[in-house]
Amino acid sequence: MITLALAGKPNCGKSTFFKAATMANAEIANYPFTTINPNFGVACVRTTCPCRGLDLTCNHCVDGVRFVAINLIDVAGLVPDAHKGKGLGNQFLDHLRQADAILHVIDASGGTDSEGNPVGAGNHDPAEDVKFLEYEMTMWVYGILEKHWSRLSRQASVKTFSIHQGIAEVFTGLGITPEDVHEAELLLKIDLVHAQMESLVPFCAQMVRISKPMLVVGNKIDETPEALREKLAAQKVSFVSAASELALRNAATAKVIKYLPGDKEFRVTEGVTLSAPQKAGLAKIAEVMKKNNGTGVQDTINRAVFELLDRIVIYPVEDEHKFCNKQGDVLPDAFLMKKGSTPHDLAFQVHTDIGKGFLYAIDARTKMRIKENHLLKDGDIIKIVSAAK
C-alpha cells in the first residue's frame, strides 16, 4: 500500500492534518514537539467509482464516490539542523524512509517561527520553511553516504566494481536503484568514480528528489494574509485548512452534516437543530471552503498520489460479465498502480502465483482479450486469466 509521510517543523498543523485525514487519535496542541513518536494511520484517495457509468449496484462506494486506502505517517516536527541532532534529532528523518512521498506541511499563515514557536500570523515568512526540509534530508543522505565514501572510493579502483551499484546498496532503505544513481550522475555532469565527498551535496539532493518526491502543503490557510498566500501560490503550494476538515469530519460522524472528504461544500442534516456556536463555526468553515474550493485536505492527498506518484486506479474482477468476484461482490477491489502498468503487473499485484501463471487478460468493459504488455488506463476493469489455481 502507498505510504505518505507528513513532515515539517513543529506546530505547523501536521497532527491536525493527520487526524482529519485518518480520524485516528493524535495529540494536538499549540506548542512545539507535541508529536514525539510517529503516528500511523490509514487515509484514502478519492475517485469516481465505475459502478455509476455501468449502472451497477456496488457496496464499496458512497454515492458513486470510491475511497482507496493508503498509509499516512505523522512524524515529529523537524527544526533546522535536525540532521546534526538539533531538536529531537535526525532519528525522525529515519521514519521517512518508508514513505513513497512526503507532504511537507508549512504554516502558511506565518504564525510560527522556524522552530515552531507561536509568533502571530504574518510575523514569519513561510517561504523560508519551504526549502528547509529538502535541505535537512539532503544533509541526512549526505551523512549516510559520507560514512561509506572512503570504502566506495577504494573499491571504485577495481574494474569489476560498479560505483552505481555500490551507492545504491548504501541507499537500499531509500529504494534507490543503480539506474537512479547513474541518471543523477549524468544529470549533474559529474564523475562519481573520481568525485570528492565534499562536492556531492547536489548529488545527494538529487537522490532525495528521486526517492522522496515532495509536495508542499500550506496549512492554516484560513488565517493566512493575502500577501503570503500569493507568494506561496507562485511556488505551487497545496493550500489546506486541516482544522476545518477535522471539524467537518467530526460533524459528519455525529450526523450533524452531510459531507464526504473532498466535497466542495456540506449541508446540514435535515431535522438537525444547530446551536449558535455550531452555526457560527460552520458558517466560518463554509466561507473557507468557498474561497478555497473545499478544505484542501483530500485534494492534497489525491494530488500526491495521482500527480506526484503518478498512480491510476485499476479494478480487478473474476467475472467480466457481471464485474464481480466469485462471490458476486461487484467491483470488490481497487488497486493504485503506477501509470504505465500492464495486465501482467496487475496479476502480480493481485497475487505472486497469479502473476507467475499469467496467461492473458480481458478488458471487462469491451470483453476483449488484451496482451500482457497492454498499457492500463485509469478506471480499467480487468479480468486476469492465469494458470494458477
Side chain identity at residue 69, one-letter code: A
Give the full edge-to-edge strand order of the sheet including 238-239: 39-48, 65-74, 3-7, 101-107, 214-219, 238-239
Q: Per the structure block, which three cell numbers stand in for 34? A: 507535541
Q: Measure the CA–CA gap between 69 and 65, rounded to whole angstroms.
A: 13
Contact 170, 144 (CB under 8 A): yes
Strands 381-386 and 267-268: unpaired
Contact 112, 30 (CB under 8 A): no
pLDDT tens digit string along 259-270? 999 999 999 999
Nearest Cα to Cα of residue 127 among 214, 216, 221 = 216
Which DSSP string do the residues of 22-59 spell out, in sequence order?
Answer: H-------SSTT---SPEEEEEEEEEE-TTTTTT---S
Q: How far apart are the first and last CA of the chain?
A: 24
- pLDDT band, very low/low/confident/very high, at 353 (cuts 50, 70, 90): very high
The pLDDT of residue 152: 92
- pLDDT band, very low/low/confident/very high, at 130 (cuts 50, 70, 90): confident
The dotted CATH code for 3-134+214-302 is: 3.40.50.300
The pLDDT of residue 98: 80
Tell me if residue 358 falls in helix, strand or coil.
strand
The verdict on pTM exceeding 0.85 is yes
Q: Where are the domains of the chain?
A: 3-134+214-302, 148-204, 313-386
**Count of residues for the chain?**
389
Contact 372, 385 (CB under 8 A): no
pLDDT tens digit string along 206-248? 998 888 899 999 999 999 999 999 999 988 999 999 999 999 9
* Cβ neighbour number for residue 356 with a 10 Å cutoff: 12
Q: What is the mean pLDDT of residues 47-62?
A: 92
User: Would you give the distance in Å from CA 112 to the centre of its chain?
Assistant: 24
pLDDT tens digit string along 26-42? 444 444 444 445 688 99
* H/E segment holding residue 250: helix 242-253
Task: Return mean pLDDT, the chain.
Answer: 89
Which DSSP string do the residues of 43-100 spell out, in sequence order?
Answer: EEEEEE-TTTTTT---SSSBTTEEEEEEEEEEPPP--TTGGGT-TT-THHHHTTTT-S
Nearest Cα to Cα of residue 317 among 366, 352, 350 = 350
Nearest Cα to Cα of residue 1 among 60, 94, 69, 75 = 69
Same topology between domain 3-134+214-302 and domain 313-386: no
**Residue 86 in this model has a pLDDT that exceeds 80:** no
Contact 29, 52 (CB under 8 A): no
Q: What are the φ and ψ backbone dihedral angles of 142, each rounded to 5 degrees?
A: -60, -40
Nearest Cα to Cα of residue 177 among 140, 211, 141 = 211
Four-way CATH pick for 313-386: 3.10.20.30, 3.10.250.10, 3.30.450.20, 1.10.101.10: 3.10.20.30
